[in-house]
Amino acid sequence: MTKAQRRLWMKYALRGVGGNDNHARLDLAYSVQDPWNMESELERARFEATNGLIEREFGRVGSVLELGCGEGHQTGFLARLSDQQHGIDVSPQAIERARRRVPAAQFAATDIFGQPWGGQARRFDLVTACEVLYYLGDPAATLERMRHLGRCGLVTFFAPAARRVGAHVDSVRGIRKDWFHHGGTAWLVGWWRDD
């Protein structure tokens, strides 16, 4: 699929998705392989930057819960610095591909409120939501659930989304922030520790 075809497909598939938990449309996006172009140099640079920050701030991580894991592209990177990987995505199609990509990880087609690995406080060493918050109807509730489930947390989002999700991230107690850059693209990253 060419870049133009992928862009056109995603424009169609994601119509009405932003900020409203439209799981059916997000799953529709995965009717094609790698709809988000996660195998691109741009995304690999973001994955590497995320891993670098995790390693610097948290060291090796025992268990990680990845929200919006998609087809497992970033999960493969997170596996380099964690002992156990758990990934959730609302798209069953994406989850099937993630299971093939990272067979040692555990995946479920659900959201953070339905994840099947236990709801006890501090269940995971790290909970991540990379490029996810702007698709959610209630980012504040998701961040609160992340804090409940994880000893530490990390979020990234594309800089133009700061207006929509920035205030929610800023309200996280103890939040620390920085920027990732690659070419002309910038992402804001926020992280916290509760342990």
What value does the mean pLDDT take over residues 79-88? 98
What's this model's pTM, rounded to 2 decimal places? Answer: 0.94
pLDDT at 11 over 90: no
> Over the stretch 25-54, which tens digit does the pLDDT of each residue have?
899 899 999 999 999 999 999 999 999 999
Label residue 164 by pLDDT band (50, 70, 90). Answer: confident
pLDDT at 176 over 80: yes
Quickly tell me which residue has 């990680």 as its tokens: 64
Q: How many other C-beta atoms are found inside a 10 Å radius of the C-beta of residue 168? A: 19
DSSP E strands, the chain? 61-67, 82-89, 106-109, 124-130, 150-158, 176-182, 185-193
Q: How many other C-beta atoms are found inside a 10 Å radius of the C-beta of residue 109? A: 17
| pLDDT at residue 14, as a whole number | 81
pLDDT at 195 over 80: no
pLDDT at 20 over 80: no
| pLDDT at residue 78, as a whole number | 98
Label residue 162 by pLDDT band (50, 70, 90). Answer: confident
pLDDT at 87 over 90: yes
Please give the Cα distance from 21 to 177 (Å, whole number). 26
Across the chain, mean pLDDT equals 94
